[in-house]
Chains A and B, each alone.
Chain A
């Protein structure tokens, strides 16, 4: 179960707003994602992405939430999440002490041999995989931090992006951190 939510940014881009990774362990049962996203909507928390998937424990799912927000709102977001009965644990992950990745599928125009050559070489530099090619287009799979995906996207933008799908970020803390 993977879902990406993009919400419009209402928070001004001032100095106090920064990017945060929030990890939550939640009960693996129906309705939990609804409760979490409904909370974000009701309290106007600005979410960049949210991913949910199974974990090493059958009855728990791991949720990774990314958000651009100020510290005060982040504090409320975490506290309100903790109040949800189905949310077992919530932590703000420090980016330097965590590994976080996103996957993107990008289909772009490649109707000329030179374009195909160029895209293929960029893909190899970014360690992206070519998933599909037909006479007019190429589909690439790229995994990395959101920044890396943004960089690749900007690089290939000039070829003409036909379709793009991003999964949102999944994250785990490094080492023994829970």
Chain B
């Protein structure tokens, strides 16, 4: 079949089932945009490429298939990088397609030329640069295969402009092979058997569920394992929402701003079953202290995660959904005696929850972040999708917003990208238009990508920005209070801009809440409109996030602020 490079790209994307792309045109990807005119694909025009990448990421996290974003060469491509690095840190599948200067101009420091392959290398699974039209279909197919399989991640395709506009004979392969890439899917059965034996032997087992559970959609398998073992379940922050947080075994996230009872119980366990988790510093504190004297069972799809931060006693490499399913079958076969409610370990769970519920004092104010988030939970249906920005708002969400339906919560957990939540929530809305989508935001982060309001309004992808405004870069301010003797520097955003007015300026709904009652009214208004809403919720600049495990310390050193 004879076609232009740009047409081959669009056709190859359509063959992969792509129905939506987020992007912004420029000189070096004009042929691709021309081909889009006749395509069935829906194109969403962003106002900054970073947001295109975050939207593709948000879309991917809900669809569990690669999101696609387009940018031109040079600054267009480099603007994508923050979003690509965010997806890489959180193992989110993404295809980023960038325009490049014509082949003959590469290496000549041409206008808007960047070596984006070099720039993207450390934050992509792979970066392609097809140098002829004929290479495009195979490249796209390989890109999706690499991006979505194994431990997912972003893949970049950089297409020189002359390759986009050349006409050549192309064929679309139905099968491709990447010689150096063979993601392991099925776990080694003897390792699984060892793992299951250790789980049954444990007196105080704990499940630590990570983002891998969400990525592989292993929700029911995880729940089955927990219920068979009657083991309490903590999650990493990335794993928040992998397990219903209202479940009788749920303990919530561990980590720097984890739930106090979760941080406490995990150091009392004798066996940690880590599922799709990578023992990040934010989750486990000090590597040398964490899990000392306990049996560590580590299930992960990425062999390189085994032993990277924490040595495992038993490692099971493979897709965690399939590993868990087999483990559950094995456990069922062994008919393990069920732990009853008077089991000391389960009693301890209850005791810790009750203890911290009483001992952690609420911040003395009528409207606090905690109360605002409890109100949000009360009003939202369980099916609502919730994402967050980064900083205090994110950690409050982790602490005070319980995720009930698995897989309905995500955040920039690895890279911690401020400005992620809002565009990502728009991507999530595009992936599942029937759900209410909320971005739990702070003023600092929302300011970074608020121009996506234009996208939300014009493309009819309404989301609710739940903006807890403390007029500060709150997390930095908290650290300056805690570690730098309240010597504030560079944290005062003050009341600028007026977020409700900003919303109105874009044609969205701007709402304000100074009290819980006003918040109740505003939220109901936002949930009953078909346009994006920004709710500017006024909270106290001095409200800290507690508990807090200071950097470089262990979970046992947690400060509860009580």
Contacts and interface: CB of A to CB of B under 8 A. Distances in A.
Report whether chain A binds chain B.
yes
Interface of A: 26-27, 31, 34-35, 38, 42, 72, 75-76, 79-80, 82-89
Given A31-B117, A75-B307, 19 more contacts: A34-B121, A35-B121, A38-B121, A38-B122, A42-B122, A72-B307, A72-B311, A76-B308, A79-B303, A79-B308, A80-B304, A83-B302, A85-B125, A85-B146, A85-B181, A86-B180, A88-B179, A88-B180, A89-B180
Nearest to A31: B117
A84 B121 contact: no
A178 B232 CA distance: 47
9 contacts: A26-B180, A38-B121, A38-B122, A76-B304, A79-B303, A82-B304, A83-B304, A85-B126, A85-B180
B142 to A, nearest CB: 9
Contacts of A31: 117
Contact-size category for B: 10 to 19
Nearest to A41: B122
B118 A76 contact: no
Interface in B295-326: 302-304, 306-308, 311
B178 interface: yes
B131 to A, nearest CB: 10
Nearest to A59: B179
A26 B118 CA distance: 18
Nearest to B308: A76
Interface in B264-311: 302-304, 306-308, 311
A153 to B, nearest CB: 36
Contacts of B307: 72, 75-76
A79 B305 CA distance: 9
Contacts of A42: 122
Interface of B: 117-118, 121-122, 125-126, 146, 178-181, 302-304, 306-308, 311
A72 B287 CA distance: 14
Contacts of B126: 85
B441 to A, nearest CB: 32
Contacts of A83: 302, 304
A79 B178 contact: no
B98 to A, nearest CB: 16
Contacts of B303: 79, 82
A86 B124 CA distance: 13
Contacts of B302: 83
Nearest to B303: A79
Contacts of B122: 38, 42
Contacts of B306: 79
Nearest to B155: A85
B151 to A, nearest CB: 9
A84 B178 CA distance: 11
A63 B179 CA distance: 17
Nearest to A87: B180
A6 B32 CA distance: 44
The 5 tightest CB contacts between A and B, nearest first, are A79-B304, A88-B180, A85-B126, A85-B181, A87-B180
Contacts of B304: 76, 79-80, 82-83
Contacts of A38: 121-122
A87 B126 CA distance: 12
A172 B181 CA distance: 23
Contacts of A26: 180
A72 B306 CA distance: 11
Given A72-B307, A76-B308, A85-B125, A34 B118 contact: yes
A87 B181 CA distance: 8
A89 B303 CA distance: 14
A31 B128 CA distance: 10
Nearest to A42: B122
Contact of A84 (B117, B180, B311): B180
B338 to A, nearest CB: 38
B418 to A, nearest CB: 23
B175 to A, nearest CB: 17
Given A34-B121, A38-B122, A42-B122, A27 B308 contact: no
A27 B117 contact: no
A123 B146 CA distance: 52
A86 B180 CA distance: 6
Contacts of A88: 179-180
Contacts of B118: 34
A45 to B, nearest CB: 13
Nearest to A88: B180
Nearest to A84: B180
Contacts of A82: 303-304
Contacts of A72: 307, 311
A38 B311 CA distance: 25
A136 B302 CA distance: 58
Contacts of B311: 72
B267 to A, nearest CB: 23
A76 to B, nearest CB: 6
Contact of B180 (A27, A75, A76, A80): A27
Nearest to A89: B180
Nearest to B302: A83
A56 to B, nearest CB: 16
Nearest to B311: A72
Nearest to B123: A42
A89 B181 CA distance: 10
A79 B278 CA distance: 15
A86 B118 CA distance: 15
Contacts of A79: 303-304, 306, 308
| Most chain B C-beta atoms within 10 Å of own C-beta, residue among A34, A35, A87, A89 | A35
A1 B125 CA distance: 25
Nearest to A77: B304
B84 to A, nearest CB: 15
B528 to A, nearest CB: 48
A169 B456 CA distance: 58
A92 to B, nearest CB: 15
A23 to B, nearest CB: 15
A111 B121 CA distance: 51
A35 B126 CA distance: 10
A167 B356 CA distance: 63
Contacts of A75: 307
Nearest to A78: B304
